[in-house]
Amino acid sequence: MGTMAVFTLHGQRERQLTAKGLEAQRPGALGALLANAQGRWWLVAPLSGGLAALALPPLGWPPLLWLALAGLWGLVESAPPLPAGLLWGLAAIGVSHRWLLGLHPLDWIGVPAPLSLPLCLLLLLVCALAAGIGVACWLALARRLRPRSPAGALLLASCWGLAEVALARGPLFWLGLGASALPGDRPLAGLASLGGAGLVAAVQLLIGWGISRCLEAKKPLVWVAITAAIVAASHGLGAGLLAAQPLEQGHSERLLVLQPAIPTREKFTWHQQQLLRARLRAALAEGAERQVASVLLPEGALALPAELAAPAKVELISGGFRVQQRQGEAEQRSALLRFPPGELQPSNWLDKHRLVPLGEWVPLAGLIRWSGLSAVGGLQPGPPSRLLARPAGAIGGAICYELSDGQALARASAAGGRWLLASANLDPYPAMLQHQFAALAQLRAIESGRWLVSAANTGPSLLVNARGQVVAQLPAGRPSSGLFQIEQLSGLSVYDQLGEGPLLLLAALGAGGLLANRLWR
C-alpha cells in the first residue's frame, strides 16, 4: 500500500507539472490570433509577401517589412515549405518588380502586338517563381533547424543575407531585403559599411523573428525587450558608422552630367541620333567653359562606331558600344568609354560584365537566332573587374543593373577607385524603377564609403555622398545637365576590406550555438 501511495503521489505531481508546462506554452491573445491566421497559411503567405514588397523602395520603410517578416517566420512551422514559399515569392516579386510590365508594347523590336503583354507577364512570372523557389528552400532549411532558438534564428537570417549577396552576382537578382532600409532609414542602412547589404537583410530578419516571438509568447515582455534591443543596437551602430565616414579628403572634381532623355523606342532613328549629338556637343562646350574634369553620359548613349565628330577639350566618359575581336570573332559589348581631351576615339573602357537576360544576352542565341527583348540584344560580357583607370584617379563603374552587386563595387574601391559612377538607361520603365535605382545608389555609396554619381538617360541623375545622402539631382524625364562637385576618397570601409566576413561570423556563431545546444541535449 505504501508503494502504491508513492506511485500515486508521483503520478499526480507529474500531471501537475505537465499542466503547468502546457499553460506556460499556451500563447496569449495576440498569439492566438496569429495561430489562427497561420492555420490559413495559404492566405498569410501572399499577404506577408505583398506587405514585404510594399516596404521595399520606393517606400523604403523597414517597420512594415519587419511585420511581413514576422509572418514569414510564422510560416516555418505552420505551412508546407514549397507552396508557402512560392506564394510568398510570387507576391513579393510580383508587386516590387511590376515595373517589368513597362516593357510593353514590344512592337518596336518586332514582337507582334497580341504577344507583347503576355510575354511581359511571362517574364515577370519567371522572376517571381525563381524568388518563390528560393524562399521555399529557406523555409525547408528553417524546418530542419531550430527557428525558435536565438542560435537557429541567427544562422537562418545570416543564410538569407549571404544568399542575397550570391544572387546579386547572377542574372535574375535586382532588389532584396538589404535595400529596404532606404530611403526611409539611413541609420539602419549604415550597417552596410560594416557587412554590406547582406548584413542589413540579416538584421531585419532577426527583428522580424523577434516580433514573431513576441506574438507567440504568453508573457511577451522578455521578447519585446530583446527585439527592442536588436532595433536599438543596429540603429545605434549604423548611425555611428555613418558619422565616422569622412566626406572630404582634400581633393574634389567638378563633373558635368548630361541627361539626354532620348526615348529608347526611338533611340536609333536618324532624328533622335542627330538630337543626341547636338546635346553632346552642347554639353562638351559647357564643360570646357566651366572647366570641369569630365562630362558624363548615360548607358548606351553612343552607338557604333563610337567616335566623336570633333575633339573634345575635356574628358568624356560615356556609355556606348564597341567591338572586341576574340578568337577571330567580333563580339559586341556595352561599355563605359573614356575619351581623353583632344581625342576622337576612346583610349580605354570598362565593359559591362553582368548582362540583362533576354534583354542583352540570350541563351543559345546562335541556335535560335533571336537577339532578345531589346534593340541591343546579342551582347557579350566583359571582365568582372569594375575599375576604370583614368589620369585624374581611378573610379568604380556600374552599368545599369550591375548596381545591384555591391560586392563588385566594394572590390573596385579597395583596388583604388576614388568614386563610383552608375550609368543607366531606365527608359521605358516607370518612375518606380528610378526610385529603386536611387535607393541602390545610396546603399552602394554607404557600403564602399565613396561618393557616387548616377548618369541616366531619363533619370535618376544624381549625386550621393559617402553617407548615402542625395546631395543633388536632375529633374527626371526631361533633357537637362547638371554640375556636380564630387570628393575623391581613398579610405576603406570595413566592407571594402572584409567583404562578407562579419556576416559569415554571425553565421558561424549561429551554427556554433546550435551545435552546442545539441551536444548539451
Residues carrying an active site annotation: 299, 352, 400
Count the Cβ atoms, other than its own, within 10 Å of residue 414. 17
Determine if the peptide bond prior to 428 is cis (ω within 30°): yes
Closest CA to 235 of 181, 183, 154: 181
| Contact call for residues 314 and 281 (beta carbons, < 8 A) | no
**Phi-psi map region of 477: left, alpha, beta (phi>0 left; psi -120 to 50 alpha):** left
User: The cell 523577434 sits on which residue?
Assistant: 210
Grid cell at residue 173:
537578382
Q: SS3 breakdown of the chain: % helix, strand, coil, rounded to 5?
A: 55, 15, 30
DSSP reduced 3-state for 252: strand
What CA–CA distance (Å, rounded) separates 312 from 309?
Answer: 9
Number of residues assigned to the chain: 521
Q: What residues have CB less than 8 Å from 232, skipping those under 6 apart?
A: none
Count the Cβ atoms, other than its own, within 10 Å of residue 243. 10
Q: What is the SS3 string spanning 374-405?
A: CCCCCCCCCCCCCEECCCCCCEEEEEHHHHHC
What CA–CA distance (Å, rounded) separates 254 from 246?
Answer: 19
Q: What is the SS3 string spanning 209-232?
A: HHHHHHHHCCCCHHHHHHHHHHHH
Report how far apart, in Å, the C-alpha atoms of 424 and of each of 12, 47, 175, 254, 302 are: 73, 33, 16, 20, 13
Grid cell at residue 88:
510568398
Count the Cβ atoms, other than its own, within 10 Å of residue 486. 25
24-44 burial, b for 16+ CB within 10 Å, e for fewer? eeeeeeebeebeebbeebeeb
What CA–CA distance (Å, rounded) separates 411 from 174?
Answer: 19
| Contact call for residues 62 and 188 (beta carbons, < 8 A) | yes
Grid cell at residue 198:
547582406
Q: What is the DSSP-derived secondary structure letter of residue 101?
A: G
